[in-house]
Chain A
């Protein structure tokens, strides 16, 4: 099982966390076209390489995190609280 280095709790098993998916900016509601909005909802990059994704430490500190993870090796490059600039 992979471990996620929670910036608050330290290394914890991934089953304490919920994945919240790829992190990307929410389009402006006033101007978003259906194409832009639905790309935001449904199109995900899914590369073989580094992804920036959200994890919620559900059974721990209950903080939302932004994690950089390599999809091939599961190496985690960084983990920081959501909403805080990298």
Chain B
């Protein structure tokens, strides 16, 4: 798989949506992209810049692959991430940066990687040691993923989520699933350069709802929409 590159999208007359040269398939997030947009790999993404202290970015274009295996299996041992934790692990040995491995269930791991790397992650998970039954499913298209960043993020989240977000209960690197505004949501505390940050992901069709709800919940705290950050690509 080639490295994802950013290219300017062209816009057909009378159609605000970007198209790729030669009619190549274009993938879209379930969340409306705040302008300006560009095409990264196969995905139309927002490149909006904001300096707001509290920001919400749509990361749905990232690769997301789910592994199911017994917790005592060799494959699980090789990943080394227990249920309830999220760590960066070099799952795809050939990649320069490690992937975020989320212990998303007692027998379930979600691996998040750069745009268009799902096939590599998929292959790497299938190649993990051990013969135990396992299931590897590419859910890149099946999940909406957003990142809420800012010192006010816990307070904003506390208006729509009953989980105890205090440091002692939900420190950096903690992963859990609970209800956020009435929707089952995977929540990962994954701070960015010392600033509190959460990854939230839900099944794809609820993505716009989650995004809108977070923007509304953060309104009084000055939330702003951010594009897909360069370092996530």
- Residues of A that sit less than 8 Å from B by CB: 8-9, 12-13, 15-16, 58-63
Contacts and interface: CB of A to CB of B under 8 A. Distances in A.
A63 B179 contact: no
A16 B178 CA distance: 7
Nearest to B177: A60
Contacts of A15: 162, 179
B179 A8 contact: no
Nearest to B83: A8
B-side interface size class: 10 to 19
Contacts of B200: none
Given A8-B83, A13-B162, A59 B178 contact: yes
B178 A63 contact: no
B177 A59 contact: yes
B184 interface: yes
A26 to B, nearest CB: 24
Residue from the set A9, A58, A63 with the largest chain B CB neighbour count within 10 Å: A9
B106 interface: yes
Contacts of B75: none
Nearest to A9: B176
Nearest to A58: B184
B179 A59 contact: yes
B105 interface: yes
Contact of B105 (A16, A58, A61): A61
A9 B106 CA distance: 9
Contacts of B83: 8, 61
9 contacts: A8-B83, A15-B179, A16-B178, A16-B179, A60-B176, A60-B178, A61-B105, A61-B106, A61-B177
Contacts of B178: 12, 16, 59-60
Contacts of B184: 58-59
Contacts of B105: 61-62
Interface string B65-86: 0000000000000000001100
A60 B162 CA distance: 13
Contacts of B106: 8, 61, 63
B191 to A, nearest CB: 22
B194 to A, nearest CB: 27
A33 B162 CA distance: 47
Nearest to B169: A10
